[in-house]
Chain A
Amino acid sequence: MNDPILSIRGLRKSFGPTEIMRGVDLDLLGTERHALIGPNGAGKSTLFHLISGHLAPSAGTVRFDGHSIGGRTPQAINRLGLARSFQITNIFPKLTVFENIRLAVMRPHGLAYAFWKFIDSDRRVREETCRLLELVRLTSRAGAIAGEMAYSEQRSLEIAMTLASDPKVILLDEPMAGMSNEETHYTAELILEVTKGRALMLVEHDMDVVFSLSDRISVLVYGQVIATGTPDEIRANASVKEAYLGEEVAA
């Protein structure tokens, strides 16, 4: 089971003359939790965009579960079993929390474009929606307008929407940004819990979370992976210290 489910080779992305990704090689194993760290502007979010179909790579390959997905549409990639959250909250702001999650739950239940039956009468969708609400502790907020909730609650909602399609691979882009300590702790536990049996790739600035949650860590600096290893290996890696952790310690 621990063959790579997602494997990236020689991935490049340029915007005009500016090269953002300069040949990334990265493997995500079938059931590992893999964090991606690096200084601001290293290209972490761009890498997520390239994997999830938001951007098309300039060169290189992305293979997911036996399919080459580089340059495919986001919906095609999502249907293969890869779901992501966004760094900048990306929800349906004027709909209720319940509705937000239900929209995410409908498709995996094969109800994408049905206009011949009522959504309220579908018990499976309702139960799954309620389960996800419970999971991210938003049950009491089910009727609230999503855009009017606290930022941290919106982050939780993002996680629930990402989980809705029961994906094989989850990409979480700074899921804990703006959360309190208690919320961060709960969310870290939650991520640990829900990613059992699937692969997670995580971008997060909270180093405690990164080091406690991850099986492996990759360090991305200026569009290249300079090191990949277990948390202990990364802690001990001299070039990482210099490029990234060193800066933080010095600052």
Chain B
Amino acid sequence: MKTALLLVLAGVAALAALPFLLSQGLLNAAIQMLIAALFASAYNLLCGQAGMLSFGHAAYFGVGAFGTVHAMNAIGGAGLLPTPLMPLAGAACGLVFGGIAGWFATKRTGTYFAMITLAIAELVHSLAPHLKGLFGGEAGVSTMRMPAWGLDFGSTTQVYYLTLCWVLLSVGLLYLFTRTPMGRLAYGLRENSHRLRFLGYNVHGLGMGVFAISAMFSGIAGGLQVVSNESANYVVFDPALSAAVVLNTYIGGVKVFLGPAFGAALMTFFGYAVSDLTQSWLLYQGILFVLVMMFMPSGLAGLIGMAGQLRQRIGIARLMPLLLLSIAAAVLLSMGGAFAVEMLQRIFSQDYRAMAKLAAGGAWPPVTLLARAWSPTAVATWAVPVALIGAGALLAWIGQRQLKQATERAGGAA
């Protein structure tokens, strides 16, 4: 408990120090990471804690975003609230809309619940382009951050601190919520809503309440994005955003409170860092999700927990080489995989097909990757990913064997 508190404090201190360490571009990425982390945490209240898998959470993020943008533009641009409090407008809109949508969605459970959330999100998504007055059409609605409380909110640093405060406050509240009677009931809802009914609880009202609270925090995340971007566009209702929050949450790990936030921050960072380098970012995201689901259903946070358990069982001295081995294996495997994907992506791209047609005799021209030209027909080219993947697989195999030996020895000693 004490170490957890220290870790959290250290994390907060590190986050507070970021503006002194990062460039403007990276600081902007950090803002997006924080917002994604809050969105995933809000989503996980519904999905991980209360066991309701929503496929349309972009709707509440988007409603929060538009609520905030209109609040900022209200009263002739002066704003309904001082700028630092603007996300409250997003929270209110998320809460109200989430309450209404939740009333319908939580009438059913499981697959039917998921389908209703999907339908509601699609409804908003297809309606938004037609309501130009509310959602601004293709241009969206733009706004300005007004100075307030002696701050002008003109610099990225100030926006970063504003976002950080809201995200820390919201995630903190979400954590405290798990300790309240209603938060405990959310677990009961996930485990056995049938039994809750026979203990005298109104399960529909409870589900609706949890849904609305999750939507409220999603609305705050949407509001923060508007404060940061100074605009809102109906693109926020895109199903891709609903999908991303599901993927991020599961990649991070639904069982651990900070897992989804961690997953979302990581994936947002990768998206930022990698999307300029590759056109296959969505493919990598998908592959990563499938791998996580197949090999570590408890997510990246679960992986850390597993390492902790292993350390207790076989000791840090035996764990360290294993850990290094598995990291090396993972790096080699992903390098090999990425090389193969990038080569194939380039070969199958339209530009390249056109070029190959023009080339004399139908010979395939070389492909540039990592500042080097590779001939697609040369064996050496394909030997690179094969060798990388082979070496990675070998390391993984050795690691697995050593792990087995180590746990057997620990088991024998115990």
Give A contacts to B, CB under 8 Å.
Answer: 52, 54, 73-75, 78-79, 83-84, 86, 90-95, 99, 102-104, 106-108, 111-120, 122, 161, 164-165
Q: Which residues of A contact B184 (CB under 8 A)?
A: 99, 102-103, 106, 119
Q: What are the 10 tightest A-B residue pairs by CB atom distance, in nearest-first order?
A: A78-B200, A92-B191, A111-B181, A115-B182, A74-B197, A114-B181, A115-B180, A103-B188, A79-B200, A107-B200
Given A74-B198, A106-B185, A117 and B192 contact (CB-CB distance below 8 Å): no
- Is B192 touching A92 in the complex (CB atoms < 8 A)? yes
> Which of B158-166, B201-209, B230-238, B310-318 contacts the other chain?
B201-209
What's the minimum C-beta distance from A174 to chain B, rounded to whole angstroms?
Answer: 16
Cβ of B215 to closest chain A Cβ, rounded Å: 15
Query: In the complex, what residues of B have CB within 8 A of residue A93's CB?
Result: 191-192
A164 in contact with B180 given A92-B191, A95-B188, A103-B188 (CB within 8 Å): no
Chain B residues whose CB sits within 8 angstroms of the CB of A73 once the complex forms:
197
- Find chain B residues with CB under 8 A from A164 CB: 199
**Is B14 among interface residues, defined by CB-CB distance under 8 A?**
no
Chain B contact residue count (CB 8 A cutoff): 27
A90 and B183 alpha carbons, distance in the complex (Å): 21
Which residue numbers of B lie inside 8 Å of A, CB to CB?
A: 176-177, 179-185, 187-188, 191-192, 194-203, 205-206, 209, 213
Closest to A119 in B: B181
Grouping DSSP codes into helix (H, G, I), strand (E, B) and loop, the A interface class, with mixed when no group exceeds half, is loop
The residues of A that contact B213 with a CB separation of less than 8 Å are 115
Question: Which listed residue (A86, A107, A119) contacts B180, Cβ 8 A?
Answer: A119
Q: Give every chain B residue within 8 A of A83 (Cβ-Cβ).
A: 198-199
Among the listed A54, A84, A91, A115, which residue makes an inter-chain contact with B183, where contact means beta carbons less than 8 Å apart?
A: A115
Q: How far, in Å, is A93 (CB) from chain B's closest CB?
A: 6
Nearest chain A residue, comparing its CB with the CB of B182:
A115
Q: How far is the CA of A29 from the CA of B2 in the complex (A)?
A: 55
B192:A112 contact, CB within 8 angstroms: no
On chain A, the residues within 8 Å of B181 by CB distance are 106, 111-115, 117, 119, 122
For the complex, give the distance between the alpha carbons of A41 and B77 in Å. 72
Give the shortest distance, in Å, between B15 (CB) and chain A (any CB): 26
**Given A113-B185, A113-B205, A118–B192 Cβ distance below 8 Å?**
no
Q: How far is the CA of A240 from the CA of B338 in the complex (A)?
A: 77
